[in-house]
Amino acid sequence: MAAERNGQGRNNPRGFYSRALNEAEQVELEEASRVEGIDEEIALLRLKLRELLKEQPERRDLHFQAANVIARLVRIRYQMSKEQRKSLKEAIQKVLTEVAVPLGVGVGIRIASQ
The whole-number pLDDT of residue 105 equals: 60
What are the average pLDDT values for consecutive 10-residue runs of the chain, which has 114 residues? 44 69 88 86 93 93 92 84 82 78 58 52
Instruction: List the domain boundaries for the chain.
Output: 2-33, 39-112
Pairs from 65-72 (Cβ < 8 Å, separation ≥ 24): 67/92, 67/95, 67/96, 69/45, 70/42, 70/45, 70/46
- What pLDDT, on the 0 to 100 scale, is given for residue 15? 73
Q: What is the pLDDT of residue 80?
A: 65
H helices of 16-81, where? 23-33, 39-55, 60-78
pLDDT of amino acid 82: 80
